[in-house]
Amino acid sequence: GALDMGGESTQISFIPAETSILANFFPMHVGLGAGPIHLYTHSFLSFGYVTAFQRVSMRILGQLAHRGTKEMHHPCMLKGVSWHVQADKFGVSTTETPARTEGPIHLQGAGDFERCSQAARALLIEA
């Protein structure tokens, strides 16, 4: 199978154990030398890495709102990373030194795999 995490959505494709899956929803039939290959493929909107990071960040910020703080120790950011951002633009960067120096919210990387995994699971449960 294959998993493609884009910015806004995630696509999954695999060869199902049976010829059809989900009553023929989203099937693909690819013809290659030895005969057809039946694939299942589907796109999951709002589960790309940028959107998922934004959703996890908003959830954490919401949990902190009752304390009146705008500083969060983000479990899904590397320890030592420090960003100042706007609430609607948490952003994800592929550079080592992203320009995230302005904004009222302070994200401090915690590098906590277990808490990050729990936050990601919570997104799946609410979907």
40 Cβ contact list (under 8 Å, min separation 6) = 13, 14, 15, 16, 21, 22, 26, 27, 28
Q: Is 10 annotated among the ligand-binding residues?
A: yes
Task: Establish whether 118 is an annotated binding residue.
Answer: no
Known binding residue 54? Answer is no
Distance CA 92, CA 67 (A): 26
8 annotated as belonging to a binding site for a ligand = yes
Q: Binding site membership for ATP: which residues?
A: 7-11
Q: Binding site membership: which residues?
A: 7-11
